[in-house]
Structure 1
Amino acid sequence: MGRDRSGLVQLGQGQSSRQARGFGHQAGPGNDTLLAHIKAIHAQTHGGYGWPRITKELLARGVRAGKDRVRSCTASAPRAGAASSPQ
Structure 2
Amino acid sequence: MREDEESLGDAQEMSGTELTVYEAVAALNVDERSATISAVAEMTALGEDDVRRCLGTLVEGGRLVPKGDAYLLGAHDWGLEY
TM tier, smaller: 0.3 to 0.5
Greater relative contact order structure (CA < 8 Å, 6+ sep):
2
> TM-score, normalising length from structure 1?
0.45
Higher Cα radius of gyration: 1
More strand by share: 2
